[in-house]
């Protein structure tokens, strides 16, 4: 169950691990955006090489990244197939009725495939090298200007932090309830779809009730420890930019310039 | 000397409840004293704790903490003086890591970061959890989580710490761990401790015991005086520690017994030296 998107952080001490989470978050978004600028073999090849360099810099096994692609593979193949069959242009290699495989179709299919894989690789890289809590801090820090227009950024960040904090607690609770219900004869994971959905009900209801109990306890504890909300709170965890964050930004600029030159 | 806590004629009634949860409760706690409040489930122990720092508002009567009378305008000052460790180790852990959780109360009070770093480290040292500073709560035992909760409170440097059944969800080892930690903290600081418990062994460590029954104070006395009630405690839904039962049985058979509380080991030592002629 801990294969869910939140538990994917892999602790490490690489250059990428040590980058400020704000840098990583912004650079990832930027990188994904410029992938869409690539439109020929040269530019895609360069983006592919750049992604491989980043993965190497994370010192993580390539297998983790390939596993990230797996859940998306049918969507990717479907999109690629659409591109191959419906893009017209260039020499025709095969045709059947209104379907035709053309040279343009094949190249476009390959480009789309690469684009998908690169986007998945980069976002996987972000979540594998950044603890969820650091990401939450980064979001808070980057959104802070929105406080001026009345968005409760600090409160939202605390909500996010507490949500992350309680993921393992609720997982434990789920396991406990599942075992308790199994002992009472509930059968999880067998039967047809309808039966399986029915088996989830005696799991979800106690979990729902429990989480309200937890929320109430937590609110009391926070109250007792003087939580009053607002912007007068100080912060224990702070984020600090280092020279390496500057280098990362510079690398993005260089990459963009190279991409503009290479693209058709 | 000003009492640490002075409660007089306190009444409390839960909304929609027919009966008063607390009725005419009065007592004082001296600074540095360890007072245990015992009573059966639903006797009003935890309600009392929540009335002491304004988590619940008394219906009648006054609560004075360190000279401040509890009211809407003093409630945050009083909460700074009174820390509560609650029953469930998981449901009071706010921070994502041990250090973050200890810092939570300090963040709430706007303590500057430089000072926070020092106070968090000191508090973790005091409870012996320094090596766990970057751990996540999911990787701690119940006893360790309660130690972190205590660290979070002592980092705020309160005068009073209330243990609201803080050991009831722990295994015996965790329970001993917490009781010993409190004893150690009291040896080094001027901390006033109020422990709300139905664990009679925890109550035995206190200076004084307040016995609560159906929202009213039944008796106040030293642990030995309270345990001397013997069978009557059973009627109130409480149990007497095993060595105390043995003591009472032996005293009934004419064996001379000391008046103070002895744990199993202490009683063993006392018994085997009783007829020693050496």
pLDDT confidence of residue B118: 94
- For residue B269, being part of any structural domain is answered with no
B79-83 mean pLDDT? 91
Considering only CB atoms, which chain B residues are within 8 Å of A224?
53, 55, 79, 83-84, 86
How confident is the model over B18-57, as pLDDT tens digits?
A: 888 899 999 999 999 999 998 888 888 889 999 998 899 8
Q: What is the pLDDT of residues B195-220, one digit of tens each?
A: 998 777 788 888 999 988 888 898 89
Least confident range of A214-223, B72-81, B193-202, B267-276: B267-276
Give the global pTM.
0.79
Establish if B169 touches chain A: CB-CB under 8 angstroms.
Answer: no
pLDDT in tens, B146-158: 999 999 999 998 9
The verdict on a CB contact (< 8 Å) between B116 and A234 is yes
Angle at CA of residue A237, ends A233 and A242, nearest 5°: 130
Q: In chain A, whose CA is at the least distance from the CA of B136?
A: A165
CB contact under 8 A, B96 and A165: yes
Q: Would you say B75 and B250 are in contact if contact means Cβ atoms under 8 Å apart? A: no
Q: Which of residues 218-257 of A touch B (CB under 8 A)?
A: 218, 220-228, 232-238
- Judged by CB atoms closer than 8 Å, whether chains meet at B136 and A238 is answered as no
CA A131 to chain B, closest CA, distance in angstroms equals 11
Find the closest chain A residue to B88 by CA distance: A217
Instruction: Establish if B6 belongs to a structural domain.
Output: no
Within 10 angstroms of residue B269's Cβ, the number of other Cβ atoms is 12
Q: Residue-wise pLDDT tens for chain A (264 aa)?
A: 344 444 578 888 899 999 999 999 999 999 999 999 998 999 999 999 999 999 999 998 888 888 888 888 999 999 999 988 888 888 888 888 778 888 888 999 999 999 999 999 999 999 899 988 888 889 989 998 998 898 888 888 889 889 888 888 888 889 999 999 888 888 887 788 888 888 888 889 999 999 999 999 999 999 999 898 877 788 888 888 999 999 999 999 999 999 999 987
User: How far is Cα A58 from Cα A174, in angstroms, rounded to an integer?
Assistant: 34
Number of domains present in the structure of chain B: 1
Query: For B230, left (φ over 0), alpha (ψ -120 to 50), or beta?
Result: left
pLDDT at B240 over 80: no
CB B220 within 8 Å of CB B208:
yes
User: Is there a domain that residue B168 lies in?
Assistant: yes
Residue B225's CATH number: 3.40.50.300
For residues B248-261, give the mean pLDDT: 79
Percent of chain B at pLDDT above 70? Answer: 96
> Could you give the 3-state DSSP secondary structure of residue B35?
strand
CA B212 to CA A52: how far, in whole Å? 69
| Smallest Cα distance from B67 to chain A, Å | 19
- Partners of residue B78 in chain A, C-beta under 8 Å: none
Q: Cβ contact (<8 Å) for A165 and B83? A: no
B268 vs A219, higher pLDDT? A219
Interface of B with A in 55-114 (CB under 8 A): 55, 76, 79-80, 83-84, 86, 88, 90-97, 99-100, 103-113
Query: Chain B residue closest to A160 (CA)?
Result: B96
**Residue B60 falls within a domain, yes or no?**
no
Parent domain of B135 = 31-45+75-240
Q: Which of A252, A55, A246 is nearest to A260 (CA)?
A: A252
| CA-closest candidate to residue B155, choices A154, A225, A165 | A225
- Is residue B231's pLDDT more than 80? no
B89-133 pLDDT, tens digit per residue, is 889 999 888 999 999 999 999 999 999 999 999 999 989 899 999
Q: How confident is the model at residue B278 (pLDDT cuts 50, 70, 90)?
A: low
**B18 catalytic residue (yes or no):** no
Cα gap A178→A201, rounded to integer Å: 11
Residue A1 has what pLDDT?
Answer: 38
Tell whether the torsion through CA atoms of B125, B128, B131 and B135 is positive or negative.
negative
Residue B104 lies inside a defined structural domain of this protein: yes
* Dist. CA A254–CA A171, nearest whole Å: 44
Which two three-digit tokens encode residue A211?
Answer: 């989480």
Label the pairing between strands B5-12 and B22-29: antiparallel
**In this predicted structure, what is the pLDDT of residue A22?**
94
Query: Are residues A6 and A164 in contact, defined by beta-carbon separation less than 8 angstroms?
Result: yes
Chain A residues 180-209 with a CB less than 8 Å from chain B: none
Residue A4: the pLDDT is 43
Angle at B113 between CA B107 and CA B114, to 5 degrees: 145
| ipTM rounded to 2 decimals | 0.81
Q: Is residue B66 part of a domain?
A: no
Q: How many CB pairs under 8 A join A and B?
A: 91
Contacts of A168 in chain B (CB under 8 A): 136-138
For residue B277, what pLDDT is reported? Answer: 64
In a domain? residue B68: no
Residue of B88, B104, B111 lying closest to A225 (CB–CB):
B104
Residue B266 belongs to some domain of the structure: no
Distance from the Cα of B189 to chain A's closest Cα (Å) equals 20
Kindly list the residues from chain B whose CB atom is less than 8 angstroms away from the CB atom of residue A217.
86, 88, 91-92
């Amino acid at each position: 169950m801990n294969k869910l998107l939140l538990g994917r952080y892999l602790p490490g001490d690489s250059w990428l691990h040590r980058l400020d989470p704000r840098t990583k978050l912004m650079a990832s978004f930027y990188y994904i955006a410029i992938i869409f600028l690539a439109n020929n073999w040269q530019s895609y090849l360069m983006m592919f090489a750049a992604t491989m360099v980043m993965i190497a810099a994370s010192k993580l096994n390539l297998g983790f990244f390939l596993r990230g692609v797996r859940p998306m593979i049918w969507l990717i193949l479907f999109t690629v197939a659409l591109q191959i069959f419906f893009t017209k242009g260039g020499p025709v290699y095969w045709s059947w009725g209104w379907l035709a495989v053309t040279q343009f179709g094949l190249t476009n299919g390959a480009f789309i495939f690469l684009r998908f894989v690169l986007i998945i690789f980069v976002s996987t890289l972000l979540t594998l090298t950044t603890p969820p809590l650091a990401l939450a801090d980064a979001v808070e820090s980057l959104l802070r200007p929105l406080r001026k227009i009345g968005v409760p950024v600090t409160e939202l960040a605390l909500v996010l932090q507490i949500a992350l904090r309680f993921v393992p607690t609720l997982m434990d609770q789920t396991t406990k309830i599942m075992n308790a219900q199994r002992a009472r004869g509930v059968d999880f994971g067998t039967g047809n779809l309808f039966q399986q959905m029915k088996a989830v009900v005696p799991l979800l209801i106690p979990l729902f009730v429990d989480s309200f109990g937890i929320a109430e306890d937590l609110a009391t504890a926070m109250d007792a420890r003087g939580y009053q909300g607002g912007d007068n709170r100080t912060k224990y965890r702070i984020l600090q930019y280092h020279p390496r964050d500057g280098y990362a930004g510079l690398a993005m600029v260089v990459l963009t310039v190279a991409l503009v030159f290479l693209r058709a | 000397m000003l009492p640490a806590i002075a409660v007089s004629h306190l009444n409390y009634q839960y909304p929609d409840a027919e009966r008063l949860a607390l009725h005419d409760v009065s007592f004082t706690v001296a600074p540095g004293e360890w007072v245990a409040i015992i009573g059966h489930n639903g006797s009003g122990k935890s309600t009392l704790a929540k009335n002491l720092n304004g988590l619940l508002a008394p219906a009648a009567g006054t609560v004075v903490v360190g000279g401040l009378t509890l009211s809407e305008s003093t409630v945050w000052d009083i909460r700074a003086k009174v820390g509560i460790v609650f029953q469930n180790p998981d449901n009071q852990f706010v921070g994502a890591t041990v250090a973050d959780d200890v810092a939570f109360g300090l963040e709430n009070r706007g303590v500057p970061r430089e000072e926070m770093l020092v106070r968090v480290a000191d508090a973790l040292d005091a409870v012996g959890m320094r090596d766990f500073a970057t751990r996540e709560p999911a990787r701690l035992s119940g006893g360790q989580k309660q130690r972190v909760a205590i660290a979070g409170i002592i980092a705020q440097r309160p005068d009073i710490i209330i243990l609201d059944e803080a050991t009831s969800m722990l295994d015996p080892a965790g329970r001993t761990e917490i009781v010993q930690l409190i004893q150690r903290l009291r040896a080094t600081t001027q901390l006033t401790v109020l422990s709300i418990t139905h664990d009679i062994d925890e109550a035995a460590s206190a200076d004084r015991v307040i016995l609560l029954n159906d929202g009213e104070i039944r008796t106040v006395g030293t642990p030995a005086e309270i345990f001397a009630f013997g069978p009557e405690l059973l009627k109130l839904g409480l149990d007497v520690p095993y060595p105390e039962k043995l003591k009472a049985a032996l005293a009934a058979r004419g064996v001379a017994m000391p008046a103070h509380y002895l744990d199993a080991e202490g009683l063993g030592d006392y018994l085997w030296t009783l007829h020693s002629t050496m």
